Amino acid sequence: MNFERLSEVFRKYSPGEERQFMEQARTELNAFSPLYEAYCQRIYAYCLRRTGQPEEAEDLTSLVFTRALTGLNGYRGGSVAAWLFQIAHNAVANHLRDRPARLSFEALAGSLATGKLAEPGERPLEIFLRKEQQARLRDLLERLSEEQRELLALSVAGELTARETGQILGKSEGAVRMQLRRLLQQLRLMYEQSEGVE
């Protein structure tokens, strides 16, 4: 595996560098390549968390970057991440309008193993308890409103700041921080209550 290439792909650029790439891309499309490489995985992860389907996430990711390239003149400065995720947010919203919204717990809680039978050294009881915990968390996430799932997806999957999330959702940075804090407290309380009801 070429680790130098991997580090290039995941390298983040400063906001100033990103704005420069955007300006250059208006006359030379190849200048957009570093931005594609920097954001492709994050956009895909966001789309996957919103749809729960890898194929749909791939299609939506392609759509987002196609719209970004054809809409370069619509970029008015500011955060490139917020601009790209606004495009992604709109694309996903349009896509989900025709079907019930689902948020894949496995995708959102990416730290939990989903494709493995067990973690190294895990005993059968630990496997059972982990799977039970996953099911409980999945149930809790399904109880959230669409707006709450969107807030979690942008914050967790998109790795966006409260400010960038606010730009996309049309809310202030403070409102996003407060809603996210309350949402996490609500999830924690719901989880603790679900542990007692067995």
DSSP symbol at 12: P
pLDDT tens by residue, 120-163: 565 777 767 777 777 777 788 888 888 888 888 888 778 888 89
Longest dimension (CA), the chain: 62
User: Does the reported pTM lie above 0.85?
Assistant: no
Long-range pairs for 144-147: beta carbons < 8 A, 24 or more residues apart: 144/103, 144/183, 144/187, 146/101
Per-residue pLDDT, averaged over 66-91, amounts to 92
Helix-strand-coil split of the chain, %, nearest 5:
75, 0, 25
Q: Is the pLDDT of residue 102 over 70?
A: no
pLDDT tens by residue, 16-72: 899 999 999 999 989 999 999 999 999 999 999 888 889 999 999 999 999 999 999
- At 67 the three-state DSSP class reads helix
Number of CB atoms found within 10 A of residue 51's CB: 24
